[in-house]
């Protein structure tokens, strides 16, 4: 079981968290027919990266914070975690 470093609570077992998927901001003007491809990309095409991935985690059994983590998908090294504001 890996450890996730909650920016509020510190390192906790991953079982306390919900994984929220890759950081993948919603496209601008998604209703525009011209953005069909961007919308499909947003919904279905995950990067599924080997390496450091920026991703969402939710501390469900803790403080209730949604935060971002940069985690290596092979070694599971969590390089940093931070609030959403810093990701903008």
Site for Zn ion, rule CB under 5 A:
6, 8-9, 59, 62-63
Which of Zn ion, another protein, none has residue 2 at its interface (CB below 5 to 8 Å by kind)? another protein
Query: Are the CB atoms for 4 and 57 separated by under 8 Å?
Result: yes
d(CA 42, CA 58): 20
CB of 66 to another protein, least distance (A): 4
Task: Please list the helix, strand and coil fractions of the chain in percent, rounded to the nearest 5, in that order.
Answer: 20, 35, 40
Site residues, another protein (CB under 8 A):
1-3, 13, 18, 20, 26, 30-31, 35-36, 39, 42-43, 56, 58, 60, 64-66, 75-76, 84
């Amino acid at each position: 079981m890996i450890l996730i470093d909650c920016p509020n609570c510190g390192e906790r077992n991953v079982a306390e968290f919900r994984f929220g998927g890759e950081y993948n901001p919603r496209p601008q003007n998604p209703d525009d027919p011209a953005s069909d491809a961007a919308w499909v990309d947003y919904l279905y095409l995950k990067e599924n990266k080997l390496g450091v991935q920026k991703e969402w985690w939710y501390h469900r059994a803790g403080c209730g914070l949604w935060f971002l983590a940069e985690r290596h998908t092979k070694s599971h090294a969590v390089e940093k975690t931070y609030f959403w504001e810093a990701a903008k």
